Structure formats: structure tokens, C-alpha cells
């Protein structure tokens, strides 16, 4: 009886055959057509379309507010995302977004391995775009390999020059689009074109142009292999149920040419479907041979699946020699056991539940957040002052933030100290005797507040509470501090 196929990952040469620092080999990925290549083209078009065009999308927030849909306003300390406005003291929303992003990444890894790396990672997206330009100008894999080996001609030099020019234009617009998120996009474009934009904008465009051109044009797979920490992290997070791009060696081994394998089948001998055509290697953007098992370099883009399926169609063999699968299923087929797919399992349920919890918490917080903010700080020196009438006075600095897009009037009151008198520098007293402060639209106001007791018979430290009430809507903000006495 013939021996069962053995996993390629278990048959690799020993460490003495693999140098620790292998020299880099130029990779020439071959063009391929198929379902996964189409998915990557769609993702590329959608993500780059969003990135380049989103700064020009308008959103009417009314007067006294910018109309750019997504804007990071560093000068005013605001982040605008359509109808949401985030203030500096609400930085915890960004923390929540980072937590959500990490959890989504963990969930994607638990379901389908490095699906982020293969389809959504900016390095992958821009590298795919640069490869498309390279193929359009210089030709496919064989043409590029031939031109690099031959002596440089005027035609080849012109092609390479055009390629690098287009690469630089893509990189330049990538850097330019990034700075548009930090200022009004149409205005900044006009200022950049007339050389009236701030020097900071030109510096950042230059930095991002250089990094995009270098990483997507030259470093490419080295970023994924050496610079990015995610391959190491996801290797520690994955489990045996996660789907990965897998060479089904139970079908593919033993390998051989198409004629040889057909002859062995006619003789009743074991023959695999893999014909050693190396198409899976030729189309890989990182030069990985998926038949050697899961590797750190593999970004799980699925292009090898498309290439292998194309070959299987030509030789009239079943598709899926390379597919999203698990090592457990390969071993199960070898042993005659049924395959299992556990996408819904404790790990994925846990990640999904945490994502739902964090997302619901953030949505609830945004829905219930107040449009007025109050902070109070007690004077440190002196803590209190004796007045001529025998009373004691404490000084405070208050900061009122009006998150509305219209001017608001607020009534400031205190409680906790019987008979206390409240004065505010720059405030008004309304007909009801309330201290009223007015704050402009989307602005903050800092004011000096004086609280005086009726007499000197006051405990050494008394908790007092400041309440700020919006006279138009009734929204309130409350802050506690202390009143100091001898």
C-alpha cells in the first residue's frame, strides 16, 4: 500500500540548507485572472476611490462650521466625521475606534487568516496599483525579466522613465490627498497650485510621496516580510480552524508532469494533480511557494488559487487544488474522516460579542452626550481670602464649552454651601438673579468665579457643586469641588 501524502511543511530541508540572511531575489509577479483577482481589483478601486475623493465630499453643518464631510481641524481642535463632531477632551472615542479596529482584525484572522494583508492593507493596495502600471508599460513577467537581463536600450529606458514618472504622480497625489483631510480641500488645492499653501503642507506631501514611491515601488514584499509586525502577531493568534490559502497535498502529491501523472493513473499508481507548472509561484507578489505550507511571507491574497484553477481547467482536473482550507481538513481527508468547518466557534463569537459591546457603547455614548461641558479648578494660592465683613472667599477658574453651532446662554449656580454668594468676572445677572454666561458657537469660555460665604463660621473644607444649565434647552453639566476655610 502506498504511503499517504505528507504535508510539504514537514518535508522542508533542515536549517543547515537555509541561510539565516538569504539574499533578496527580484520578484516578477505574473498577471492572473480569476475570482480573487477580481475581488482585489474591486477592493482597490473602492478603497482608493474613497481615499482620494472623500476630502471633496461636502456636509452641511449650518453656519459657523466647516462643510467638509471628514476634516481634522488641528487649529480649532476638532474632528468632523459627517454629523459627528469630536472635541479634544473626547479623545476616548479615538481609543474606542482603535480597540474596534484591533478586534475586527482579530476576528478577520480567526475566520480567514491574513485576509487583511491580502486585500485591504494599504501596502497591498498601492503595490497592486504600481504593479498594474508596470505591466501596462513594460509588459508581463517574461517581458520584464527579459528587459532587465538585456542591455538597456533607448526604448526600455523610455518605458522605465514613464513608469517611474507615473509612480511618482500616484505617490504625489497620495501625499496630497492625505493633507486634504486637515484643511478645506478645494481651498488647499488652490493654495497648493498657486504656491500659497503653508510650508507644512508641502513638507508632508513630500514625505508621503517619498514613502509611497519607495514602499510600493521598490520595497514591496520586504515591507510584508520584514517591516510589518502583523505576520508575527497573527501567527500567535491563529488556530487550527482558521481558513487559510492551503495547498491540498492530499490531492496534489506526488507531483509530476501531466503526461507522467496520466500514465501513472492508467497503471493504477498514485499520482497527484500538481504538475509542477509553478504558476502559483509566478503569480505570488511575495514569491512564496504555497506548496511548502503556511509561511511568514504569504499574505493570503488568493492569486495562487486563481492561477492553479486556470491550470486545472486546462488539464481537465477538479478545481480547488489550492483553496481556502485548513490543515485539519487535509489530514481528515487523508484519514477518511469528514471535513469540518467551524467559522462560528467560541473564539469568533467572543470577538464578535466584544465588537458589538464596544460599538454599542460608543454609539450610546455619542447619542447621549451633552452639548455643554464644564470644568472647575480651585485657586491654589491663596486657598481662601478673609473679607472685611468677616466672610471667606474662594476663587475658581471655570471653563465652559459650547458644542452647539449657535450661541448659548447658560445659568451658573452652586449648592452645598448655605447662603453662599456667587460672582463671575464677565458674566451677567438675569432678572431671576442668576449668574448667566454667554458662549459663542462651537467655542469655549474661561471665566473667573468667586464664591463667598455668609460668615466666618464655615467648616475647614466643604464640598460644593457647580451646575451649568442651558437656558434654551435645559441641558445641564455638573462639576464638584471644595470650599476652603481656616
Q: What is the mean pLDDT of the chain?
A: 87
Average the pLDDT over each of 11-20, 127-136, 356-365 and give the range with the smallest value. Answer: 11-20
Q: Identify the pLDDT of residue 232.
A: 86
pLDDT, tens only, 49-69: 999 999 999 998 877 788 899
Q: Is the pLDDT assigned to residue 70 strictly greater than 90? A: yes
Q: What is the predicted pLDDT for the residue at 22? A: 61
State the pLDDT at residue 47.
95
pLDDT in tens, 235-245: 788 888 889 99
Q: Give the separation between CA 13 and CA 153, rounded to whole angstroms.
A: 42
Q: Which of 44-48, 110-114, 266-270 has the least mean pLDDT?
A: 266-270
pLDDT at position 189: 93
> What's residue 414's pLDDT?
86
Contact 97, 84 (CB under 8 A): no
Taking only the tens place, the pLDDT of each residue in 151-204 is 989 999 999 999 999 999 999 999 999 999 999 999 999 999 999 999 999 999
pLDDT of residue 401: 87
Phi first, then psi: what are they for 378, rounded to 5°? -75, 145
Predicted confidence (pLDDT) at residue 355 exceeds the cutoff of 60: yes
Share of the chain above pLDDT 90, in %: 44
Confidence (pLDDT) at 250: 87
pLDDT at 13: 44
Check pLDDT > 60 for residue 9. no
Q: Which residue segments constitute the domains of the chain, with CATH numbers given?
A: 26-90+116-230 (no CATH), 239-334 (no CATH), 372-484 (2.60.40.10)
Peptide linkage before 482 cis (omega within 30 of 0):
no
CA angle 464, 470, 472 (to 5 degrees): 155
**How high is the pLDDT of residue 234?**
83
Residue 3's pLDDT is 52
Q: Say what the pTM is.
A: 0.82
Contact 324, 245 (CB under 8 A): yes
For residue 95, pLDDT beyond 80: yes
Residue 304 has pLDDT above 90, yes or no: yes
Predicted local confidence at residue 154, as pLDDT: 93
Least confident of 83-92, 181-190, 307-316: 83-92
Q: Could you tell me the pLDDT band of residue 261, with boundaries at 50, 70 and 90?
A: confident
| pLDDT, tens digit, 9 for 90 and up, residues 391-449 | 888 989 989 888 877 888 888 888 888 878 888 876 677 656 678 888 888 888 888 88
- Whether residue 247 has pLDDT greater than 70: yes
Query: What is the three-state SS of 421-479?
Result: EEEECCCEECCCCCEEEEECCCEEEEEEEEEECCCCCCCCEEEEEEEEEECCCCCEEEE
Residue 117 pLDDT: 92
Reply yes or no on whether the pLDDT at 373 is more than 50. yes
CB half-sphere exposure, 85, CA atoms < 13 A: 22
pLDDT tens-digit readout, 12-33: 444 455 566 566 788 999 999 9
Amino acid at each position: 500500500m502506498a504511503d499517504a501524502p505528507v504535508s510539504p511543511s514537514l518535508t522542508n530541508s533542515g536549517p543547515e540548507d537555509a541561510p539565516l540572511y538569504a539574499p533578496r531575489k527580484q520578484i516578477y509577479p505574473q498577471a492572473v485572472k480569476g475570482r480573487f483577482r477580481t475581488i482585489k481589483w474591486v477592493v482597490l478601486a473602492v478603497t482608493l476611490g474613497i481615499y482620494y475623493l472623500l476630502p471633496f465630499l461636502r456636509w452641511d453643518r449650518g453656519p459657523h462650521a466647516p462643510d467638509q464631510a471628514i476634516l481634522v481641524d488641528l487649529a480649532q481642535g476638532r474632528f468632523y466625521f459627517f454629523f459627528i463632531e469630536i472635541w479634544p477632551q473626547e479623545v476616548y472615542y479615538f481609543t474606542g475606534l482603535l480597540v474596534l479596529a484591533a478586534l475586527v482584525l482579530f476576528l478577520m484572522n480567526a475566520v480567514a487568516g491574513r485576509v487583511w494583508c491580502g486585500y485591504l492593507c494599504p501596502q497591498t493596495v498601492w503595490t497592486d496599483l504600481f504593479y498594474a502600471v508596470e505591466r501596462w508599460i513594460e509588459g508581463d513577467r517574461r517581458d520584464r525579466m527579459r528587459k532587465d537581463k538585456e542591455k538597456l536600450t533607448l526604448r526600455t529606458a523610455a518605458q522605465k522613465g514613464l513608469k517611474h514618472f507615473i509612480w511618482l504622480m500616484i505617490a504625489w497625489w497620495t501625499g496630497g490627498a492625505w493633507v486634504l483631510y486637515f484643511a478645506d480641500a478645494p481651498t488647499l488645492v488652490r493654495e497648493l497650485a498657486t504656491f500659497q499653501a503653508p510650508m507644512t503642507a508641502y513638507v508632508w506631501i513630500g514625505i508621503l510621496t517619498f514613502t509611497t514611491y519607495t514602499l510600493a515601488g521598490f520595497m514591496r514584499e520586504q515591507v510584508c516580510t520584514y517591516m510589518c509586525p502583523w505576520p508575527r502577531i497573527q501567527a500567535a493568534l491563529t488556530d487550527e480552524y482558521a481558513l487559510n490559502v492551503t495547498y491540498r497535498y492530499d490531492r496534489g502529491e506526488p507531483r509530476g508532469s501531466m503526461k507522467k501523472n496520466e500514465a501513472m493513473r492508467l497503471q493504477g499508481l498514485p499520482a497527484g494533480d500538481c504538475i509542477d507548472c509553478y504558476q502559483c509561484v509566478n503569480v505570488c507578489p511575495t514569491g512564496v511557494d504555497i506548496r511548502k505550507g503556511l509561511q511568514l511571507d504569504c499574505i493570503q491574497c488568493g492569486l495562487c488559487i486563481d492561477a492553479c484553477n486556470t491550470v486545472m481547467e486546462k488539464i481537465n482536473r477538479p478545481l480547488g487544488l489550492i483553496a481556502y482550507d485548513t490543515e485539519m481538513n487535509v489530514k481528515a481527508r487523508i484519514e477518511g474522516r469528514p471535513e469540518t468547518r467551524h467559522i462560528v466557534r467560541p473564539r469568533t463569537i467572543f470577538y464578535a460579542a466584544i465588537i458589538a459591546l464596544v460599538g454599542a457603547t460608543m454609539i450610546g455614548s455619542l447619542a447621549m452626550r451633552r452639548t455643554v461641558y464644564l470644568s472647575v479648578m480651585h485657586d491654589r494660592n491663596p486657598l481662601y481670602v478673609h473679607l472685611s465683613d468677616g466672610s471667606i472667599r474662594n476663587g475658581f477658574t471655570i471653563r465652559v464649552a459650547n458644542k452647539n453651532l449657535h450661541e448659548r446662554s447658560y445659568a451658573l449656580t452652586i449648592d452645598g454651601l448655605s447662603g453662599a454668594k456667587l460672582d463671575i468676572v464677565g458674566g451677567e445677572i438675569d432678572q431671576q438673579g442668576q449668574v448667566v454666561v454667554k458662549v459663542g458657537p462651537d467655542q469655549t469660555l474661561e471665566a473667573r468665579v468667586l464664591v463667598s460665604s455668609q460668615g466666618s463660621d464655615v467648616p475647614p473644607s466643604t464640598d460644593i457643586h457647580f451646575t451649568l444649565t442651558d437656558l434654551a434647552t435645559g441641558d445641564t453639566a455638573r462639576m464638584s469641588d471644595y470650599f476652603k476655610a481656616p
